[in-house]
Amino acid sequence: MTSLTVNGRTYEVDVEPDTPVLWVLRDTLGLTGTKYGCGIAQCGACTVHIDGCATRSCVVPLDSVGAKNVVTIEALERDGKLHAVQQAWLDLDVPQCGYCQSGMLMAAAALLQEKPKPTDADIDAAITNICRCGSYQRIRLAIHSAANNA
């Protein structure tokens, strides 16, 4: 059994220590908001926060997490209030197919935590997630909107 803290709650999970955190979240804990995209940390659909850092969970083995806190898209809103990036995504109709959006939102939230007023260059450098629909312009606008409304 391995102890894992996710969204402020501690779980005891019975999985192999080298199991990627993505699969522990989805298959063991039933938190399916984090998506599988590529399995090689390239697309970003699996982005979660590990101790506040945007991390691609498909390549992070469970045994490397230890006592760190994992936050998933399910906990981005707090006390019934959407996070500023979630509200901006809705206000600006950012998603098209929506598959990559949970990872995009987690990456954007981490960026705003680090740089509350990011420039376009900051956004381009930090948001390396792939969106097959190509909604990058709206993503950038939504991040700026969230920064202005946070």
Domain end call among 53, 75, 97: 75
End-of-domain residue from the set 39, 55, 75: 75
Residues 102 and 145 placed together within one structural domain of the fold: yes
What pLDDT digit, counting tens, does each position of 21-35 carry?
A: 999 999 999 999 999
* Domain co-membership, 47 together with 109: no
Q: Are residues 53 and 6 in the same domain?
A: yes
Q: Is 138 found in the same domain as 100? A: yes
CA atoms within 13 A on the CB side of 117: 1
Domain extent, residue 34, equals 2-75
Question: What total number of domains does the chain contain?
Answer: 2
**Chosen domain end from 75, 101, 131:** 75
Kindly state whether residues 22 and 52 are assigned to the same domain. Answer: yes
Using alpha carbons, select from 38, 56, 136 the residue that is nearest to residue 103.
Answer: 56
Cα(77)–Cα(83) distance, integer angstroms? 5
User: Helix (H, G, I), strand (E, B), or coil: what is residue 33?
Assistant: coil
Residues 6+ positions from 29 with CB-CB distance below 8 Å = 6, 11, 13
What CATH number is attached to the domain comprising 17? 3.10.20.30
89 with 126, same domain? yes
- Bridging pattern class, strands 47-50 and 2-6: unpaired
Question: What does the pLDDT look like over 65-111, one tens digit per residue?
Answer: 999 999 999 999 999 999 999 999 999 999 888 899 999 999 999 99
Decide if 129 contacts 107 (C-beta within 8 A): yes
Q: What is the pTM of this model?
A: 0.95
